[in-house]
């Protein structure tokens, strides 16, 4: 994780933002137990985030992570899939999705929210309405309800896309999209968010120095 954090921070210092991600992996080759791990994102331009307000992007509703795999690996993992570029308005989104050796794939994360009723009951605990009703149906008499309210329940979905189709999909166990942004300088000017690192403010002094040295050399 230290490497992932350092990579994200270095990208933030240089370009204004960086990323790291959380994944699950099987603990051993022959095990069904999974472990949570933190991975680095070498190229911050491979990540695209939807709108968010919180500094840690915890309110994020959708995100994309673009990656490449060899054609041999793509064919091995998705033997029935097609080699097709992304299309938008009848035109190619870009010519880089398929090359002679590589196929671009995209991980898409999105959040679905459902409203759920929860009860605060006499014993001081909070219980979802469906569990309360299930207990009554089983003949259990739960404590009386003191107060009820509606809460949003976040469900995170993941799918992998090619330029032609959805290759696979599944639910993510957490309630947050597991892509995290590390920000350098952040400015909101008339609703437009701009990020910058140390290099941007150093450009003009560098130009002035280069000009003065060139003039001296002449």
pLDDT at 99: 64
Map residue 105 onto helix, strand or coil.
Answer: strand
pLDDT at 96: 57
pLDDT at 94: 47
The C-alpha atoms of residue 180 and residue 33 are separated, in whole angstroms, by 25
Burial (CB count <10 Å: 0-12, 13-18, 19+), residue 202: exposed
The C-alpha atoms of residue 143 and residue 125 are separated, in whole angstroms, by 10
> What stretches in the chain show pLDDT beneath 70?
83-100
The tens digit of pLDDT for each residue in 88-115 reads: 554 444 455 556 678 888 999 999 999 9
pLDDT at 98: 59
Q: How high does pLDDT run on average in the chain? A: 89
Task: Name the H helices within the chain.
Answer: 2-15, 71-77, 129-137, 198-217
Proportion of the chain above pLDDT 70, given as a percent: 92
Beta strands in 41-144 (DSSP E): 47-49, 62-70, 87-88, 91-92, 102-121, 126-128
pLDDT at 81: 85
Residue 150 to residues 110, 111, 120, 132, 133: CA-CA distances in angstroms? 22, 18, 12, 15, 16
């Amino acid at each position: 994780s230290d490497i992932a954090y350092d990579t994200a921070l270095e990208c933030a210092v240089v370009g204004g933002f960086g990323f790291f991600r959380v994944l699950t992996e099987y603990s051993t080759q022959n095990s069904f137990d999974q472990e949570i791990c933190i991975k680095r994102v070498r190229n911050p331009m491979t990540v695209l985030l939807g709108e968010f307000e919180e500094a840690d992007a915890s309110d994020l509703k959708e995100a994309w992570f673009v990656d490449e795999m060899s054609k041999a690996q793509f064919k091995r993992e998705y033997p029935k899939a097609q080699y097709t570029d992304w299309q938008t308005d009848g035109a190619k989104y870009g010519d880089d999705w398929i090359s002679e050796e590589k196929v671009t794939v995209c991980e898409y994360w999105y959040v679905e929210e459902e409203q759920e009723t929860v009860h605060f009951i006499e014993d001081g605990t909070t219980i979802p309405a469906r569990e309360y009703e299930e207990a009554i149906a089983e003949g259990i008499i739960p404590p009386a309800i003191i107060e009820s309210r509606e809460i949003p329940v976040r469900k995170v979905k993941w799918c992998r896309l090619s330029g032609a189709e959805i290759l696979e999909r599944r639910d993510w166990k957490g309630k947050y999209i597991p892509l995290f942004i590390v920000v350098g300088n952040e400015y909101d000017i008339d609703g437009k968010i701009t990020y910058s690192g140390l290099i941007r403010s150093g450009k003009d002094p560098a130009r002035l120095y280069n000009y003065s040295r060139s003039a001296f050399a002449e």
